[in-house]
Every structure is written in structure tokens, then in C-alpha cells.
Chains A and B, each alone.
Chain A
Amino acid sequence: MKPIIEFKNFSFQYFEQSEPTLKNINLTINEGEKVLIAGPSGSGKSTIGNCINGLIPFAYKGEIKGSLIVRGLETKEASLFELSKKVGTVLQDSDGQFIGLNVGEDIAFALENNAIEQKEMKERVEKIAKVVDMYDFLNQNPHELSGGQKQRVSLAGVMVEDADILLFDEPLANLDPKTGKVAIELIDEIAKTGKTVIIIEHRIEDVLHRSVDRLVLVDEGEIIMDDTSDAVLASGILPNYGVREPLYITCARYAGAKLDKDDKLSNIDTFDASKYKDLLHDWYKSNYVRKAKKEEKELLKIENISFSYDGIKPILKNINATIHEGEMVSIVGKNGAGKTTLASVLCGFIKPDEGSITMKGDDLSKYSISERAEYIGIVMQNPNQMISKNMISEEVGLGLKIRNVPEEEIEKKVNEVLKICGLYPFRKWPISALSFGQKKRVTIASILVLNPTILILDEPTAGQDYKHYSEIMEFLKSLNEAGQTIILITHDMHLMLEYTQRAIVITGGEKIADEASYAVLCDLDLTNKANLKETSLFDLANKIGIEDPLSFVECFINYDREVRENEN
């Protein structure tokens, strides 16, 4: 095997940082290998990627020590252009990478920059578009494409240069589970054509849907482990570094299994579960208790809601749902299914063509957008879309200030909310000094301060690793336990499974299910329609011959909740 990427005693320190982000890395990747680099946010895994493709040191300034050779080039002496011919990078944000006004133009972008003649350009674009199955869409513009399709275009756009190394930076971040599965399959097919493929991701279970040659675990700028995925999974160290293991493995561990690297752990289909069958059955028997249903009090009633932008194409069709007091419920469905539109209707941003929304019998349609915010508040996905002030207390108090609440009362309320959100010690800090998770809390606080009966969060954990995900979700859970009713809009399966009892599934503007979250994720037909994926726990249950897989999944969820509660 011939090395194609070689880090030797390599360190890197960003200009703004007071400490190096990568510390004395030694890592060799061979030609034709498929490698998964995993680690929590801030571990340095993306920095490794940026060193390989040359954005470091060309776009991000800093200090390099040691050596990194990519395809025979010492990167710090090479130019970004030389490197870009050898390494093709598919960025996480496929909208940001889609530069062209239509598919063909975007795929051609690198060729245009190389001043390739138009005739040759068209031929190459068509050829590559067929590889990623986008040939029929060459004239489409980006706004007509789904997230998965845009990612395929990004992939084509880097493959068209015929680079030997393909680098995927968090390819699953913006995709729903089913689309993500297809993306992993496509990446695998490309890897089989002899390309060297590097995937940077923390969603291990989803990447391992197709096998990888090696898994490199990174944390605090150092390489913790570099071995086959089976060996890394068997070692059980992933959770210690804030990376989530596949659920079926966690489950096997709960049952007391001593996993071994020869168990073919990397994929539920190959996993040799028969060895642990008895352990798992015993665990299930001794832990399963059917939980009594809590008594529910109706809070919000959504009746016959229909909506369309143009009067022709319906976005929401006759939606009915009830939200109960003190509930935490998720609204799921693929992108464009209508879940965000439903949230906009709930907040009064858009008026439904038909139907009504009532809170404890009070029709909400009579309130203005800002009055409505005192009943239903929404927190946007990206905190940068909400923050407009430099200081935390100013930002949180903004809504009250505009409502002409007296100064002393603002201060009192803001302090109260900041305490609830764990931000009180930071109240005099500039917002720019906060982490993403803390910023998220600031935006939640700025809505909570208006005391809404229901809080809606749009994709609260998008783009977060396991640690930050848990932080945000545990915080929301504590709010919920204190009595706050919460609606979560998401396509994160873990989130709905672990934190919400009930899921409302929307597809094509229609509600197709409204039941327990674990039941949704065990229903092949439903998951398919909503672009979700069945949970691997369900497969595990079937594999070891559990009669009622649904209860098995439920058992896991309850057990897991308890384990996490004891940890906190």
C-alpha cells in the first residue's frame, strides 16, 4: 500500500487561538482507503480536513509545525490550486457550495476556472452528472432541488476535476435520515472506483451503514485511536469522547455483553448478536415495565388547518392535532413536508386558508404577531438569525423593552430567566464570547422572557455533536419538567426517540401519524414515507427473536433515560 496522505509530527495553531488546535499528529492514509475521522465538535477533526484540502494555511491563518504531505506535495509549500486538483472537498453546507445558477453550471464551475473549452466542458459535465444520477436535472436551479440532490451536485462539482482524494466534511449534517443513508451508499460506490475517501463525521452509526477501512478517533487535537471500526467500537471508548455509539451496541452493553472486535460490530446486519441473545432476553425481561399513561389536559387545539401560498399547490392539508399541557412533542417529516409552515401558522406568521387554532378555547387568530408571541414563542434554528445586541441582558430584555415594560421589571424578569437558563453568571458578557450552545440558550431565554405558554423550537440541535446535543436537550427537558410545554420540529431520530414521548408525522402537507415516538421508528412504512430510518434497535430485537420489538425499543428508551439521569 502506498501512502497518499502523511501527517508527521504535525501541529497547527489558528491565529486567534492561544493554544494549538492540532497537537503533534501522526497519521498515514493509504491510496484507495476509506477512512472515517470522528470526534466531538472542537476536537480538531474539521481542522484535519482543512489541512488536507489546503484551506489551512491559505484561507485560515495560523502556525504550522511538522510536515503534511498530500500526494507528494508538502502542503505548506504548495498552493491551494495545486492541492485542489488532488483533493476534492464536499462541504457540509451544500447551499453554500452550490455556486451556479443551475446544476450544469455548478458542476462546471471548476472547469470554467481552468478555462476548459465549452464543448469539452459540456461533455465532462454530462458524464459526471450521470455518475451521481443528476443528468435529468442539468437545467434545474438550486431552489428546485432537495438537500440530497444539492449534495450530489456538490459531489459532481468536485469529481469533475478527477481528484484522487475525496474529502467529505460532515456529509450527513443537513440531510434527513433516509437521504443520508442513500448518500452513504453513493460515497461507498465512489470509494470502490479506487478513490481515496475521507469522511469527517460524528454520526458513526449512520456512516457505518457501509463499511470503512479505518476509524480514526480525534479529541483535543490528538489522535486517540486509529484502528478498524470493529476494534474501535469494541473498545467502548467512543462515549468517553462525546461520540455516540450505535444504539444496538449501547443496548448490548446495557445487557451486560462483553463485546469483542470479532463480533462484526460495525453494522447491525453483520453483527453477531446470537452470542448475546440470552443476555439481551434476560435484560429485556427484567427491565420492561409498561408505563401507565399520564393524565392529559388539552392545551392547544389545531383544527382542519389548510394552507397554500398560491391557492393551487397546498402546503398543509386539513391538519388536526392536539397539544397537551406540559408535554414535549416532536413534529417530524422530511424537508419541505410542511412542518416549518405549520410552525409559521401556529405563530401567526402566516394565516391559514382554513381551520382554527385555539388555546384553552381562546381563538388565537385575533392576535397580532407580537401579541401571539405571548402565547406561542418560536426559537429559530440558527441563533445568529435572532441575535441583534452585543450584550446578553440587552438581548434577552429586548422584547420587554419594546413592549414598554418598566426598567426595574425588565431587570427582574431578565435575571429570573437567565437563572433558569444557566446564563446568570454570564449576564454582563458580550454574546460574541459565547459558544454555540450558549448562544442557543440566549435565544431561548429571549423568547422565554415573554412567558409564552408553548415554546416551539425549530431543529434545536442541528449541526451539534453528541455532547452539545445532550446539553441543549437536557436543558429543554429541565424546562419541560418545570412545566413548560414544548414542541420540537426536527428530523433527528435520536431526539424524537430519546426526548419526546409523542411524534406527529407530516408528509406532503398531511398528518400521517400521531403516536409514540418509538412506535413511529419501528414502522417501516411510516419511516419510509417521512424520510426517516427504522431504528437499529428494532432490527436488533428482530434479530434475537423478541416477540414484541416495539416493547423492546420502549424498554431501551426508558432504561437509557434512567442511566442518563443517574449520570447527571
Chain B
Amino acid sequence: MKIKTFSYSQLDTFIHKLSGLSKLVCFLLLTTSIMLTYDIRYIIGILIFSYIMFIIAKIQFKQIKMMLYYVGAFLLFNFIITYLFEPEYGVKIYGTKHILFTLIGRYTVTQEQLFYQITKFLKYLSVIPLGIIFILTTNPSEFASSLNGIGVPYKICTSLSLTLRYFPDVVNDYNTISLAQQARGIEMSKKAKLIDRIKRIGSILVPLLMTTMDRIEVISNGMDLRGFGKHNKRTWYSRKPLNIRDYLSMLICLLLLLISLYIRFKINHSIYYNPFI
């Protein structure tokens, strides 16, 4: 098993130069704006916007290939489930019914349903690049200070930083332990009963947890000895100071959020954009 982690790479693009804090704020503003709308025009706008950002940030296809597979599978699953459970949800939303054809019984395919599901598909799809851009262009060292910058208590931020720091170590522990236990015969086969399967995974988790508990003890001693938690605030070695670029980016993203709200409340008077009336 290969360790899959953030493949952050140091490049000299506009987006890489932005502080982690402003990128986090932009990410939150834009995802909120998407969350609050079902207007396909706005969603496509954001998709195009993030595609341009991809190019600016010089993100390679191979960096995100795996993510796209997972996302594709997830969206497809969501698409099918939505249709199976609510084949007429679009009709309910848009108030009209233009039947294209009928599959079986209540499973008709309507223009409304198709439009709703395509909008939803694009809506979820458009969030993905925003997260990818944030993750691939931000030095993990900056995550903690960025969160602290938006008001999260520093102790929680440090805990996040430890998560990122020790993730690869835990993956290694997991691999070592799981192989050793497999050699003793523990397998996750489908043959065993459910409860046996859970117990067997227990014989990997128990040693993994104990190893982690030992680690926790050492790390917390090390941190205490270096004065962690001494003051009510702390500074960050890796924080990038904000400059004009950062304020500009945050302003643009704020404007985009406001546009999305304006469309919703002043133009569509609904979360949905209705082309059927």
C-alpha cells in the first residue's frame, strides 16, 4: 500500500504565493456560495473559474487522477440513488412535468428531473476543484496557523498539525501490524461471520492503538518539555504574512458569494433557477 497524502509541491505561481489563511477563507467563501445555490448558470461559472485557477496553479492531471475516480464513482452513485428514490423530485421543484419517456411504472424520465439531476451533479462537481486547489497549493505547515488566523483556538490547531505530522507514521504502523497479523492468519475474508470479522479487525486495532498510545505519551512529554501551552497565544513559524494579493483574492471570493446570494434572493427568489416557466 502506497501512502497517499497531500502531494503539495512548492511552485512559484500566484496561487502558491497566497497565504494559507487567505486560501482557506476563499475556499470557505466559495464552497458556501455553491452550497447556497442550485442555479446552474452560477455553478457553471464557478466551474470555469476553478478550471482557470487549475491552470494558473499548474496542477497536473496525474496529481488528481485518483480523486477524480473516487468523485466520479461517488457522483454516479448519488445520481442513481437520487433517481431511484425520487424520480419526480424535479417535477416537485419546478412545478411542471415534461415527460421524455417512461422506464417502468413510476419511473418516468422528465426534463425537470434531468435538469435537476444535472444541476446537482455539476453543483457537487464544482466544489471538488476548490478543495483540490487549496490542498495542493498550501504547505501543510500553514494549515494550523491559517485556522488559528480565522479564530480556531491554537491548541486545536496544533492538534491538527500533529494529525498531519503523524499520519504517515500511523500508516506505517498499520501496515507493519496488519502484515504481521496476516502472517498469523488473520484475514478480512467475506466467509467469516460479521461479528468474527469485527473481532479480527480488533486484533489489528488493539496493537495499533497501543502503539499509538505509547507515541502519545512520548510526544506530549516532548511538548511539555518545550513549553507548550505556556501562554494564551502563540506565534507560528510557518505563517505567511498577508499582502495585497491576499486581500484582493478574498475580496473577489466575497463578491462571488454576494453574487450568488443576489441571484438567489433578488433574481430567482428561490434556491432553484427555474427555466420551465
Contacts and interface: CB of A to CB of B under 8 A. Distances in A.
A102 B10 CA distance: 14
A402 B191 CA distance: 13
B230 A81 contact: yes
Interface residues of A, number: 68
B183 A99 contact: no
A95 B230 CA distance: 23
B231 A402 contact: no
Given A373-B183, A380-B177, 4 more contacts: A58-B224, A97-B219, A118-B237, A157-B226
22 contacts: A81-B230, A84-B225, A89-B225, A101-B141, A104-B238, A112-B236, A113-B226, A113-B228, A115-B233, A118-B236, A118-B239, A143-B168, A158-B225, A344-B179, A347-B179, A369-B179, A372-B183, A373-B183, A373-B184, A384-B211, A389-B203, A450-B184
Q: Which of A97, A142, A158, A377 neighbours the largest number of chain B CB atoms within 10 Å of its CB?
A: A97
Given A55-B225, A309-B2, A115 B235 contact: yes
B183 A347 contact: yes
Interface string A363-393: 0000001101100011010101111110000
A139 B9 CA distance: 12
SS class of chain B's interface: helix, strand, loop or mixed? helix
B226 A84 contact: yes
B217 to A, nearest CB: 8
A445 to B, nearest CB: 12
A388 B186 CA distance: 12
Contacts of B200: 402
A488 interface: no
A55 B224 contact: yes
B169 interface: yes
Interface of B: 2, 10, 140-141, 161-162, 164-165, 168-169, 173, 176-177, 179-187, 200, 202-204, 206-207, 210-211, 214-215, 218-231, 233-239, 241
B141 A105 contact: yes
A113 B221 CA distance: 15
A388 B223 CA distance: 29
Contacts of B236: 112, 118
Contacts of B219: 96-97, 99
B267 to A, nearest CB: 45
A59 B224 CA distance: 8
A212 interface: no
A82 to B, nearest CB: 10
A331 interface: no
A92 to B, nearest CB: 8
Contacts of A112: 234-237
A385 B185 contact: no
A112 B239 CA distance: 11
Nearest to B226: A110
Contacts of B169: 95
Contact of A96 (B2, B179, B222, B234): B222
Given A84-B226, A102-B141, A370 B179 contact: no
B211 A382 contact: yes
Nearest to A154: B222
Contacts, number: 165
A385 B180 contact: yes
A346 to B, nearest CB: 11
Nearest to B141: A101
A91 B164 contact: no
B206 A115 contact: no
B231 A113 contact: yes
Contacts of A143: 168
Contacts of B187: 370
A12 interface: no
Contacts of A450: 184
B223 A99 contact: yes
A410 to B, nearest CB: 13
Nearest to B169: A95
B239 to A, nearest CB: 7
A100 B165 contact: yes
A385 B181 CA distance: 9
Contact of A114 (B164, B204, B223, B231): B231
B202 to A, nearest CB: 7
A398 B235 contact: no
Q: Which of B204, B214, B225, B234 neighbours the largest number of chain A CB atoms within 10 Å of its CB?
A: B225
Contacts of A96: 215, 218-219, 222
B203 A398 contact: yes
Given A100-B165, A115-B231, A387-B210, A399 B225 contact: no
B214 A384 contact: yes
B237 A125 contact: yes
A108 interface: yes
A446 interface: yes
A351 to B, nearest CB: 13
A100 B211 CA distance: 20
B159 to A, nearest CB: 11
A447 B203 CA distance: 15
A309 B1 CA distance: 10
A369 B182 contact: yes
The 3 lowest CB-CB distance pairs between A and B, nearest first, are: A96-B218, A108-B237, A388-B203
